[in-house]
Amino acid sequence: MAKQVQLKAKTRTETGRGPVKRLRSTGVVPGVVYGRNTKPLSVTVDIEELGDVLAHAIGGNVLVDLKVETDGKTVERLALIQEVQHHPVRDEVLHVDFREVSATEKMRTTVAVRPVGEPAGVKTGGGTLEFVVRELNVECLPKDLPDVIEINVEQLEIGQSVNVGSLTPPAGVTLLDPKERAVFTVAAPMAEEVEATAEAGPGEPEVIGEKKEEGEEGEAAADGKPAAPGKPEAGKAEAKPAAGAAPAKGAAAAAPAKGAAPAAGAKPAAAAKPEAKKK
């Protein structure tokens, strides 16, 4: 259970950044005590005493028997250290909030969780134990408030989890989180994913210059792209028309290129006769 410690405090009237800064220079930390049925009370606590209380705290919850001195009178107030503000750079406590509670009324707060043992999936399967949540919401009397909630994880295999519904809370404590919420889980090792990728192998590379199968050239032409000229097979000469052979019937004679000399032995084409004029 959470350890209850004593801490002295004094009421203060100074507020604002300047006065509060001067208070810190004298070795005290400003704070506020608030509760459901009481008005907020501004106090100061000794910085060394507060540091000693925080250093020996096992969990996140610290119950203090706060002895508040006002005008020479001391009043005891049971409180929970709700929040401690630290300087963002220096290791210095700037402010502390105390939440007053009743010894006879149930309170709601959060308690840290702690795994116990080594999961079987970690020991034999190389998995990793992962925290899904680090705190659980609880309801209990101040005297029953635990420092931490310990959870045995030794039976967990890879892919298995511990849910809130399977937990047995400490005596006097009620768990408020949904029963299906996971607390710890054992994840598979990353190496398995790498091995699975290696076994699948890379995709087959495309062969550049691979001979196209019949029909591919026609498809390329249909797409509007000119097909690459085919190369003659090895050992076969390209067919040429015999010298002096007449062109095939119905085929038009190819016109010579502009400026090209006529081939040897070729007769010039007859000039077209002008159409006779009608009288």
Tokens at 165, concatenated: 């519904």
> Could you tell me the residue ranges of all domains in the chain?
4-101, 108-195
Domain 4-101 CATH (choose: 3.30.470.20, 2.40.240.10, 3.20.20.10, 3.40.50.10860): 2.40.240.10
Q: Which of 130-134, 188-192, 248-252 has the lowest mean pLDDT?
A: 248-252
pLDDT digits (tens, 9 = 90+) for 92-124: 889 999 999 999 999 999 999 999 999 999 999
At residue 29 the predicted structure's pLDDT band, cuts being 50, 70 and 90, is very high
Q: Which of 116-125, 179-188, 236-245 has the lowest mean pLDDT?
A: 236-245
Could you give the CA distance from residue 171 to residue 146 in angstroms, rounded to a whole number? 9
Looking at per-residue pLDDT, the higher value among 202 and 151 belongs to 151
- The pTM score is 0.62
pLDDT of residue 38: 82
What is the DSSP secondary-structure string of 69-135? EETTEEEEEEEEEEEEEE-SSSS-EEEEEEEE--TTS-EEEEEEEEEES--HHHHTT--EEEES-SE
Q: How far is CA 122 from CA 79, 128, 181, 191, 249, in A?
A: 41, 6, 22, 13, 88
Could you give the CA distance from residue 20 to residue 152 in angstroms, rounded to a whole number? 46
Looking at per-residue pLDDT, the higher value among 165 and 16 belongs to 165
What is the identity of the amino acid at 174? T
Give all strands of the β-sheet with 161-163 in edge-to-edge order. Answer: 128-131, 182-187, 161-163
At residue 216 the predicted structure's pLDDT band, cuts being 50, 70 and 90, is very low
Q: Is the pLDDT of residue 264 over 60?
A: no
Alpha helices, DSSP H, located in the chain: 17-25, 47-55, 120-123, 190-200, 216-222
Domain 108-195 CATH (choose: 2.60.120.10, 2.170.120.20, 3.40.50.2000, 3.90.1150.50): 2.170.120.20
